[in-house]
Structure 1
């Protein structure tokens, strides 16, 4: 499938980009170095789309328990280009997480992605990870 090849190509590019050294950031007094993640969840699936009710259930049972201190999500509409140069448009949900830079949080994010892909028959969930200084 064309979409599989595109996702595979993007995955390799993201993995290679992930190998680049990320400069350590130094935060001002009173702020803490944290991870800022954006997760992009597509909604198209073989037998329809992920409904608002399905999304809210996933949010309640999979994401919120892993990040109970807070998160932000919004509806989005994105696009990608297949190998035939056709632009494919798809509704999606974006989740923003700000959390500690630790193994437990990384495992939690990976579990969320894996669960979404399995539950909704998705080929991928895009994960964009960066660092930020956070003050409360």
Structure 2
């Protein structure tokens, strides 16, 4: 991160926010280098600055992944990267018999990203899968 960069974290869980603040402080990060916002992603993201981010990492309600993508595309600057966690969703995404709402939403996200000519993407089989897409 550049010297004047700021890490922004949005999380519903107060305990996660407390632990993040504690970790950043113990690691020696100045308070102005990170911003912790309590709230739901789809409530907070619309209030964040357009093209103001180099990286947006998303891990939330899988059914909302398509809406997260809409917001993330607006938030990252050209060359920025959007990353989704759980892109393989416990190996369910590759199994066509799995049709639960979460698995279906992730499949739709993967297809949408693959078909978007403004995104260059890669699906990494790390952990439960990471989808990384660069805004061209």
Question: TM-score when scaled to structure 2?
Answer: 0.28
Q: Which has the higher strand share?
A: 1
